[in-house]
């Protein structure tokens, strides 16, 4: 499955640090003042004060010493930034570590102290920076470690550090990572990472108190829901439970002490492992990886399949959507419910195997020791509350209550686990009789927006007129008394026109069904979209909105000719576009030369005008949400027409932002705020438009662009070349016969303005049309683009020895 990636490395290239003589220890008589640093004995780590945002703030931190690109791995005073230049790290004679500001003697005394370890009564205190990156406070009288930075982590997880619960006679410590507030502000952010302690513990990333992502339980080699961790050949993992002292922790060690590595939690909640190899920070894995990793995406008893590009949900065998209308609208949060209740008293229930999944949330799981599979089966069957079981290294796991957050992995994924789901006897017989088929109910998804509403209109019209045959042209009356013409086609006429939906007539496969070419009896050519078979009843409350959408008419929008409803069939009939979609031209080197500069500019401007109509000039404010080159069709004269409104959303005219639990769309075209937080607006379409502009100018795809193994993002590469005044190097070779450099650069400029990271920084489509149409208009300078590391790092891919494609970060 294709995945998206947001690698972030915080660089402090401007940090002013003046190292002192190499030392790794602070004593009561040897404090550390601003401008000095400690360096561990082996020269691996360095401790000192550094500046952050705003520049007047400084913090005490630890970073790798011998590399030019600093990655901060620990910060002491995250909640209390230093706002003066006169700061000191000191150790009192009784063992308290202090950060003080102002004119305070090295002995401390607490005057001006903004951070401390609150440790006392140490006879011979010493503070030392180890080659592991751990800052430890020891008592020389007993060599005991009194305090250590590994028990107070920031946003970075280093080798030998333990994430989890540590209980001793005097301390109860729960180690969790806490993200930075922003890329350049180490103050506490909104995301945490740690172990959630249940009967079968698992790693979790929280957004506040809500689970964003969980790994599933430990299998003995790696976490069940994150088998990709096994790809990491640099990483030897160990995980265990200790009774004395009580410990539940996760830790890791590097296979080579010379490899500099860390796992960090970035400000957006992405957990990633970075490795310093070949003079560059490289990313070997990250989580969450895809939409199916988002906690509870498909609700109770729902399954998210990572093989599906959009992560479409389905119900487990024997279950059906709890609320059909919600599922039709792509809201899966309500999940699924049983079709037939269990019958525990008569012991006629059974189990069906759900293969290769991330096991459900373990909050309501019980671990029953070392049992064989058949004994685990019998145990669950004997418990009326047991709804499923699975076998792991730690023993038999059985669940009660709802099964939440199940992910189905691609076939052949290493080390995934099988779940045994309890079903009523009737459902079990049905599952066994259909063993040659998939053992689940496919949740068929019907388009949102225009397609769904038009179906309601067609259905209501058909029912009211009780049409049974022929191609009809009827009038549906609006509440205002106006009439509009809407064609309702007979199924037999459509079958004849498409040669009974033959493969020879098939134009392609869309997200919601195949599209066929047809020809009506009068010779008119049509495109027929055959949508998924799922009957949803419309209602009169949609009628006014239906009339408004059906009246959308613009030369840069594909025109809907009518619809057909026949039993469970739902068909949309569009005008036929003989030149298919834009991607078939610009990405095909054999024919891309047919699109010269003038035609490409006309296409860019036409798409912009079509979007402007949707956002502003139509009677409704419509956000497309899936704008991409394959959804831009070309007519006989190669004029662009925006198509496929299956994911469109109608919003109020005064509504600026909207959010959704279910993020849909195409990776590479979706804006950062939509990908990470489900927030969308007209500016989401603007971002997609910017990507399309860059693809039209370059003839290259955004998501697979990789010149010389250096970049995987066309947007990022375009931004780099723009900042180096080399944008013309990116222009499509098919245009080499000649193009106006000034006009091409202006379009490149507009495209980069559209893909800026900040929502407020992107222009409206009205401004875009004006900028494209007026050569005299001065354009603002574009800011950082979305999904491009703010530190200026470059993103690329490398392949491990097992041919697994990973992603790496290059420091510039």
Distance CA(371)–CA(350), nearest Å, equals 19
Whether 266 sits among the annotated catalytic residues: the reply is: no
| CA 727, 729, 734, 739 torsion-angle sign | positive
Two tokens at 694?
């860059």
H helix count then E strand count, the chain: 13, 50
Reduced to 3 states (helix: H, G, I; strand: E, B; else coil), residue 59 is strand
Residue in 766, 742, 744 with CA at minimum distance from that of residue 754: 766
| Alpha helix segments (H runs only) across 679-740 | 682-698, 714-723
C-alpha distances out from residue 777 to 613, 723, 746, 769, 774, Å: 22, 21, 10, 11, 6
β-bridge partners, 507: none
Token output for 109: 């005394």
200 touches 213 (CB < 8 A): no
Q: How far apart are CA 409 and CA 401, in angstroms?
A: 23
If one counts every other C-beta atom within 10 angstroms of the C-beta of residue 601, the result is: 19
In a 3-state reduction of DSSP, which class is residue 291? helix
SS3 241: strand
**Nearest-angstrom CA–CA distance, 634 and 594:** 13
CA–CA dist 491, 472 (Å, integer): 11
- Residues in Cβ contact with 332 at an 8 Å cutoff, skipping those fewer than 6 apart: 297, 298, 299, 302, 313, 326, 443, 661, 662
CA atoms of 152 and 160, how far apart (whole Å): 14
Closest to 5 measured CA to CA, from 708, 663, 672, 625: 672
Residue 466 has a CB neighbour count (10 Å cut-off) of: 6
Q: Which helix (H) or strand (E) holds 749?
A: helix 741-754
Instruction: Using CA atoms of 565, 566, 570, 575 in order, give the dihedral in degrees to the nearest 10.
Output: -60
Cis peptide before 681 (omega within 30 of 0): no
Q: What is the DSSP string of 182-202?
A: ETTEEEEEEEEEEEE-SSS-E
Query: 3-class SS at 730?
Result: helix
Supply φ then ψ for residue 56, to 5 degrees.
Answer: -75, -15
* 751 Cβ contact partners less than 8 Å away, ≥ 6 residues apart: 690, 691, 693, 694, 697, 718
Contact 9, 27 (CB under 8 A): no
Residue 175 contacts residue 164 (beta carbons within 8 Å):
yes
**Three-point CA angle 356, 361, 362, nearest 5°:** 105
Distance CA 197, CA 26 (A): 37
> Closest Cα partner for 785 from 809, 811, 749, 733?
749
**Catalytic annotation, pick one of 185, 293, 349, 626:** 626
Q: Are strands 125-129 and 113-116 parallel, antiparallel or unpaired?
A: unpaired
Based on its alpha-carbon atoms, the radius of gyration of the chain, rounded to whole angstroms, reads: 30
Q: How many residues does the chain have?
A: 812
Distance CA 474, CA 481 (A): 15
The answer for residues whose C-beta is within 8 angstroms of residue 755's C-beta and 6 or more apart is 687, 690, 691, 694, 715, 762, 785, 786
Query: What span, in angstroms and rounded, lies between the C-alpha atoms of 550 and 634?
Result: 21
What DSSP string describes 264-331? EE-TTS-EEEEEEETTEEEEEEEE--SGGGSTTTT-TTEEEETTSTT--EEEETTEEESSHHHHHTT-
Active-site positions read: 626
């Amino acid at each position: 499955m294709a995945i998206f990636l947001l690698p972030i490395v915080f660089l402090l290239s401007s940090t002013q640090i003046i190292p002192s003589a190499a030392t790794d220890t602070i004593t009561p008589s040897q404090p550390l003042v601003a401008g000095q640093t400690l360096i561990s004995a082996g020269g691996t780590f360095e401790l000192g004060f550094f500046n952050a945002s705003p520049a007047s703030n400084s913090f005490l931190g630890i970073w790798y010493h011998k590399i030019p690109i600093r990655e901060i791995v620990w910060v002491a005073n995250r909640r209390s930034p230093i706002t003066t230049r006169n700061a000191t790290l000191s150790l009192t004679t009784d063992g308290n570590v202090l950060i003080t500001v102002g004119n305070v003697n090295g002995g401390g005394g607490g005057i001006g102290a903004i951070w401390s370890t609150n440790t006392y009564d140490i006879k011979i205190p010493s503070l030392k920076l180890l080659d592991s990156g751990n800052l430890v406070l020891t008592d020389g009288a007993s060599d005991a470690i009194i305090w250590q930075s590994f028990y107070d982590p920031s946003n970075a997880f280093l080798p030998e550090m333990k994430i989890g619960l540590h209980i001793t006679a005097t301390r109860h410590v729960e180690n969790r990572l806490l993200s930075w507030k922003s890329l350049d502000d180490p103050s506490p952010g909104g995301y945490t990472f740690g172990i959630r302690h249940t009967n079968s513990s698992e790693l979790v990333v929280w957004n506040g108190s809500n689970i964003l992502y969980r790994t599933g339980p430990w299998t003995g080699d790696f976490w069940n829901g994150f088998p990709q961790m096994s790809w990491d050949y640099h990483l030897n993992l160990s995980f265990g439970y200790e009774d004395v002292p009580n410990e539940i922790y996760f830790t890791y060690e590097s296979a080579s002490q010379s490899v500099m590595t860390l796992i960090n939690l970035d400000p957006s909640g992405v957990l990633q492992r970075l490795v310093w190899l070949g003079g560059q920070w490289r990313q070997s894995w990250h989580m969450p990886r895809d939409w199916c990793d988002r906690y509870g995406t498909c609700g109770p008893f729902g399954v998210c399949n990572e093989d599906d590009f959009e992560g479409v949900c389905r119900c487990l065998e024997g279950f059906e959507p709890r609320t059909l209308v919600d599922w039709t609208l792509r809201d899966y949060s309500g999940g699924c419910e049983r079709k037939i209740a269990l019958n525990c008293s008569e012991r006629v229930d059974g189990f069906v195997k759900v293969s290769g999944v991330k096991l459900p949330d373990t909050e309501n799981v019980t671990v029953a020791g070392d049992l064989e599979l058949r004994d685990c089966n019998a145990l669950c069957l004997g418990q009326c509350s047991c709804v499923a079981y699975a076998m792991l290294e730690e023993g038999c796991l059985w669940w009660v209550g709802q099964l939440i957050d199940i992910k189905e992995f691609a076939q052949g994924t290493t080390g995934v686990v099988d779940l045994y789901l309890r079903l009523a006897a009737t459902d079990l017989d049905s599952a066994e009789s259909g063993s040659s088929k998939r053992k689940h109910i496919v949740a068929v998804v019907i388009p949102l927006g225009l397609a769904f509403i038009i179906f309601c209109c067609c259905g209501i019209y058909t029912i009211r007129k009780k049409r049974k045959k022929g191609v009809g042209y009827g009038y549906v009356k609006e509440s205002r008394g106006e009439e509009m013409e809407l064609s309702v086609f007979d199924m037999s006429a459509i079958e004849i026109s498409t040669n009974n939906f033959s493969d020879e007539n098939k134009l392609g496969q869309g997200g919601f069904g195949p599209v066929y070419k047809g020809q009506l009896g009068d010779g008119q050519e049509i495109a027929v979209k055959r949508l998924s078979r799922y009957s949803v009843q419309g209602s009169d409350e949609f009628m006014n909105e239906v009339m408004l959408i059906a009246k959308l008419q613009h030369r840069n929008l594909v025109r809907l000719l009518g619809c057909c409803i026949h039993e469970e069939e739902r068909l949309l009939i569009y005008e036929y576009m003989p030149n298919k979609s834009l991607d078939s031209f610009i990405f095909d080197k054999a024919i891309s030369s047919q699109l010269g500069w003038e035609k490409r500019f006309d296409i860019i401007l036409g798409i912009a005008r079509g979007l402007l109509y949707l956002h502003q000039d139509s009677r409704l404010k419509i956000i497309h949400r899936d704008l991409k080159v394959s959804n831009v069709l070309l007519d006989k004269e190669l004029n662009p027409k925006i198509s496929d409104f299956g994911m469109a959303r109608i919003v109020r005219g005064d509504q600026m932002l909207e959010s959704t639990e279910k993020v849909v769309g195409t990776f590479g075209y979706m804006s950062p705020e939509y990908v990470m937080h489900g927030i969308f607006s007209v500016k989401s379409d603007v971002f997609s438009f910017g990507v399309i502009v860059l693809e039209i100018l370059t003839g290259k795809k955004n998501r697979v662009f990789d010149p010389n193994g250096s970049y995987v993002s066309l947007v990022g590469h375009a931004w780099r070349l723009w900042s180096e005044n080399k944008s013309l190097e990116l222009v499509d070779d098919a245009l080499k016969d000649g193009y106006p450099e000034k006009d091409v650069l202006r379009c490149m400029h507009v495209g980069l303005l559209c893909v800026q990271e900040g929502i407020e920084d992107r222009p409206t489509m009205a401004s875009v049309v004006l900028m494209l149409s007026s050569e005299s208009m001065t354009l603002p300078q574009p800011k950082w683009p979305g999904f491009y590391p703010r530190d200026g790092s470059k993103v690329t891919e490398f392949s491990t020895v097992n041919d697994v494609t990973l992603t790496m970060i290059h420091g510039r």
